[in-house]
Amino acid sequence: MSKRQLKKGNRFVSLKVKWALGTALGSLIIFVVLAMTLVSAFTTDLLRQERHSLQTSAATVTQRLDSSFRTEKQFDSQSVAGLFYQRPRHLEHEGSYYHQSIAQSLSNADLTINVYDAKGRLLFATGKTQLTLRRGADQQVHRVWGTSHQIYVTYRRLKSQSTGQTLGYLQVENHLTSYYQHLRRLRLVSLLLLILVIIAAGLLGYFLSFVLLRPLDDIHDTVVAVRNDPVKDIRVPAMKRYDELSELGQMVNEMLDQMQRYIDQQGQFISDVSHELRTPITIIQGHVEMLDRWGKKDPKLLDSSIKAVLQETSRMNSLVQEMLDLSRAEEVDVNFKGSESVVNDVVTHVYNDYKMVHPDFMFMLDNDLKEKVKVPVYHDHLEQILIILCDNAVKYSDKRKEIHITLSRNLNSVEIGVQDFGEGIGPEDAKRVFDRFYRVDKARSRKKGGNGLGLSIAKRLVEGYHGTISLESSLGYGSLFRVTLPIVEDD
Ligand code: ADP
Pair type for strands 166-174 and 122-125:
unpaired
What atom in ligand 1 is closest to the CA of residue 393? 23
Report pLDDT digits (tens) over 412-454: 999 999 999 999 999 999 999 999 888 888 777 777 778 899 9
pLDDT for the residue 351: 97
Residue 130 C-alpha from the chain's centroid: 65
* Closest residue CA from atom 4 of ligand 1: 450
The residue to mutate among 405, 418, 433, 474, having the most atoms of ligand 1 within 8 angstroms of its beta carbon, is 433
Residues pairing with 117 in the sheet? 168
Distances in whole angstroms, Cα of residue 92 to Cα of each of 63, 69, 87, 219, 467:
19, 19, 6, 90, 113
pLDDT band at 83 (very low <50, low <70, confident <90, very high): confident
The residue to mutate among 326, 455, 483, having the most atoms of ligand 1 within 8 angstroms of its beta carbon, is 455
CA dihedral 143, 147, 149, 150 (to 10 degrees): 0
Residue 348 CA, ligand 1 centroid: distance in Å: 23
Residue 449 CA, ligand 1 centroid: distance in Å: 11
Do 217 and 252 touch, CB atoms closer than 8 A?
A: no
| Strand (E) or helix (H) holding 255 | helix 244-293
Query: Can you tell me the distance from the alpha carbon of 190 to that of 195, in angstroms, rounded to the nearest whole number?
Result: 9
The predicted model gives 454-465 an average pLDDT of 95
* Closest residue CA from atom 7 of ligand 1: 454
Number of C-beta neighbours around residue 388 at 10 A: 22
pLDDT for the residue 321: 92
Residue 284 CA, ligand 1 centroid: distance in Å: 26
pLDDT for the residue 418: 98
Residues 6+ apart with CB under 8 A from 452: 436, 437, 438, 439, 442, 445
* Closest residue CA from atom 20 of ligand 1: 392
What atom in ligand 1 is closest to the CA of residue 453? 6
| 11-39 residues labelled b (16+ CB within 10 A) or e (exposed) | eeeeebeebbeebbeebbeebeeebeeeb
Residue 281 CA, ligand 1 centroid: distance in Å: 23
The predicted model gives 361-368 an average pLDDT of 96
DSSP reduced 3-state for 142: strand
Residues pairing with 174 in the sheet? 111, 152
* Closest residue CA from atom 23 of ligand 1: 393
In the chain, what's the furthest Cα-to-Cα distance?
A: 164
pLDDT for the residue 1: 45
Number of C-beta neighbours around residue 153 at 10 A: 23
Residue 378 C-alpha from the chain's centroid: 38
pLDDT for the residue 463: 94
Residue 367 CA, ligand 1 centroid: distance in Å: 25
Residue 439 CA, ligand 1 centroid: distance in Å: 6
Query: Which residue, 410, 444, 453, is CA-closest to 323?
Result: 453
Residue 269 C-alpha from the chain's centroid: 38
Residue 193 C-alpha from the chain's centroid: 34
Pair type for strands 402-409 and 362-367:
parallel
Distances in whole angstroms, Cα of residue 108 to Cα of each of 49, 147, 172:
11, 19, 12
Most confident of 114-118, 132-136, 269-273, 466-470: 466-470
Q: Where are the alpha helices (H) located in 95-213, listed in sequence order? A: 102-105, 177-212
Strand order in the sheet with 413-420: 362-367, 402-409, 413-420, 478-486, 468-474
pLDDT for the residue 467: 96
**Ligand 1 pocket list (CB less than 6 A):** 388, 392-393, 396, 420, 422-425, 433, 438-440, 445, 450-456, 479
Query: Which residue, 384, 389, 399, 395, is CA-closest to 446?
Result: 395
pLDDT for the residue 2: 45
Q: Indicate if the pLDDT at residue 58 is higher than 70.
A: yes
The residue to mutate among 384, 392, 405, 481, having the most atoms of ligand 1 within 8 angstroms of its beta carbon, is 392
Residue 307 CA, ligand 1 centroid: distance in Å: 26
Residue 488 DSSP one-character state: B
Report pLDDT digits (tens) over 284-301: 999 999 888 887 778 888
Residue 314 CA, ligand 1 centroid: distance in Å: 20
Residue 472 CA, ligand 1 centroid: distance in Å: 13
DSSP reduced 3-state for 365: strand
Residue 205, class by beta-carbon neighbours within 10 Å (0-12 exposed, 13-18 middle, 19+ buried)? Answer: buried
What pTM was estimated for this model as a whole?
0.58
Number of C-beta neighbours around residue 249 at 10 A: 21
What atom in ligand 1 is closest to the CA of residue 424? 25
Report pLDDT digits (tens) over 302-347: 888 899 999 999 989 999 999 999 888 888 877 888 899 999 999 9
